[in-house]
Amino acid sequence: MDVLRVEGLKAFYIVESAGEQRAVKAVNDVSLSVRENEVLGIAGESGCGKSTLLKSLLGNIRPPLRHMGGKVTYLQGEREVDILSLGKEERQKLMWQHISYVPQGSLSVLNPVRRIGDTFRSFVGAHLEIKKEPGRFESLVKRHLEDLGLPVDTLKAYPHQLSGGMRQRVTIALATILKPRLILADEPSTALDVVVQRGVIQLLRDIQTEQRNTIVMVTHDMAIHANISDRVAIMYAGRIIEEAPVEQIFMKPLHPYTQYLIGSLPRIGDKSHRISAPGAPPSLVSLPPGCAFHPRCPQAKPICRQEIPALSLAAKEHRVACFLAAKEDADVDSTEAAGSR
Ligand SMILES: Nc1ncnc2c1ncn2[C@@H]1O[C@H](COP(=O)(O)OP(=O)(O)OP(=O)(O)O)[C@@H](O)[C@H]1O
Ligand SMILES: [Mg+2]
């Protein structure tokens, strides 16, 4: 069952330079759906629009970002909520209890002059009617911290007294204390060293197992997706160019860009030279015509310079926006199907 559906979403930054208005096309016709209890990973190199997509999914579109088209619908049982049509207050009601957010750079979101316990108190107090019942607040927070394997003493500390990994765990604890159905996490472990990273990812996974919620996980780090994501969507220049179950993305990437992303990962025992994509991503202000990847694509054909490929089904649950990949795979599948008969 889907819990979130995105259709043709466009969100551009409208910026002025030298007296002219320009549109930075950060989210450019994105459609995707998120299923109940899954971890959907979103990957892609820096500047491709991952954070802007998450902000738009939260309905948090403020100037210079502008909603240029498309819909974001949350499904709460029978109820469908079009988040981009909600006023700020209605949106706030949906936030934290139904949807929560771990923003990028969240190591610095904790108030430096407040003890962690006070931050929890005001956060929980703002959402639940438990201000007059201090005992209930204490037990709720303590139980949650214990469930996440965090020492209860953390509540007495100021943020600067905690390590980066601990601060990130506290931020995640804060984002999940109200047991939201959906957690949108933006690079939650990127600023941390590898060992601590693993702990934070494990924490998110444990929360998901325990609370049975859905996670949309943004990170450019494919190794993290291999660890936590059930499905992965790859973004390039504001669009989703490939989407598939995680094993499929790693075993059989179809888009040449995804092949570069996967091919550049180190593998144990493999000493062959790793090739990354040549050139740099295009400017989101003036995208090349056709497929935005064509200037970097070794296999580009004339059609790739003229038309934008649609994200279409190439194999079971596997979509790709590439003229070559979609066609080749369809051929392979039909041969395989014929052979198995
Ligand atoms: N306030 C802003 N005004 C204008 N352009 C912006 C603004 N914020 C972001 N952008 C541009 O929008 C594009 C997408 O940015 P975004 O932060 O969504 O990328 P990202 O994929 O999250 O990158 P990273 O991996 O570095 O976090 C980039 O080209 C960025 O320069
Ligand atoms: Mg980002």
pLDDT of residue 337: 38
Residue 47 CA to ligand 2 centre (angstroms):
7
pLDDT of residue 263: 82
* pTM value surpassing 0.85: yes
pLDDT of residue 130: 63
Q: Is any ligand 1 atom within 6 A of the Cβ of residue 318?
A: no
Q: Can you tell me the distance from the alpha carbon of 318 to that of 225, in angstroms, rounded to the nearest whole number?
A: 16
Ligand nearest to the CA of 186: 2
Return the structure tokens found at 129. 């009617």
Q: Can you tell me the distance from the alpha carbon of 337 to that of 248, in angstroms, rounded to the nearest whole number?
A: 18
Following DSSP, what letter does each residue of 5-16 receive, concatenated? EEEEEEEEEEEE
pLDDT of residue 277: 78
Q: Which residues pair with 234 in a beta bridge?
A: 43, 242
Beta strands (DSSP E) in the chain are 2-17, 20-35, 39-43, 65-76, 79-82, 99-102, 182-186, 214-218, 231-236, 239-245, 312-315, 318-320
Residue 134 CA to ligand 1 centre (angstroms):
42
Q: Is any ligand 1 atom within 6 A of the Cβ of residue 51?
A: yes
pLDDT of residue 334: 43
Q: Can you tell me the distance from the alpha carbon of 81 to that of 91, in angstroms, rounded to the nearest whole number?
A: 10
Residue 67 CA to ligand 1 centre (angstroms):
15
User: Comparing C-alpha atoms, which of 258, 271, 247, 266 is closest to residue 325?
Assistant: 258
What parts of the chain have a pLDDT lower than 70? 106-107, 130-132, 134, 266-275, 326-341
Atom index in ligand 1 nearest the CA of residue 49 equals 18
Q: What is the DSSP letter of 114?
A: S
Q: What is the DSSP letter of 63?
A: T
Q: Can you tell me the distance from the alpha carbon of 233 to that of 239, in angstroms, rounded to the nearest whole number?
A: 10
Residue from 15, 17, 24, 283 to probe ligand 1 pocket by mutation (most atoms less than 8 Å from CB)? 24
Cβ distance 171 to 119 under 8 Å? no
State how far the alpha carbon of 136 is from the alpha carbons of 124, 132, 141, in Å. 11, 9, 9
Q: Can you tell me the distance from the alpha carbon of 120 to that of 132, in angstroms, rounded to the nearest whole number?
A: 15
Residue 218 CA to ligand 1 centre (angstroms):
13
Following DSSP, what letter does each residue of 174-223 receive, concatenated? HHHTT--SEEEEESTTTTS-HHHHHHHHHHHHHHHHHH--EEEEE-S-HH
pLDDT of residue 268: 65
